[in-house]
Structure 1
Amino acid sequence: MNYYEGPIVYSLLVAAAAGVAGYFTFKVISARVRLHKEANEIRNHPEKYP
């Protein structure tokens, strides 16, 4: 590994880690939003859901 490859590899690893973390954060947030929407829907329209 020469002088130029080190920082590039490191930045790629950092970018990959950030991407994975962001992806999981997005999944968790979208799941929570969907749960809240469903809960609000059931609360607002109880006649639809026996």
Structure 2
Amino acid sequence: SETLEPDCFEYPVAERNVASRRIAERLWGVVIGSSSNPKYASVVYRIPNLRR
């Protein structure tokens, strides 16, 4: 079987979800974008694959 080894992961988080944002930031995530829908506004983090 093949093993996937991506360079990074994209992790969307609700702007007001401080706990999830802290998780992303502690994993060296950086904000690369944002979006909005009727339910909530979100930011997208890019988290590097530290196992590579």
TM bracket (short chain) = under 0.3
Q: Larger Rg: 1 or 2?
A: 1
Higher relative contact order (Cα pairs below 8 Å, separated by 6+ residues): 2
Indicate the structure with greater strand content: 2
Q: TM-score, normalised by structure 2?
A: 0.22
Q: TM-score, normalised by structure 1?
A: 0.23
Indicate the structure with greater helix content: 1
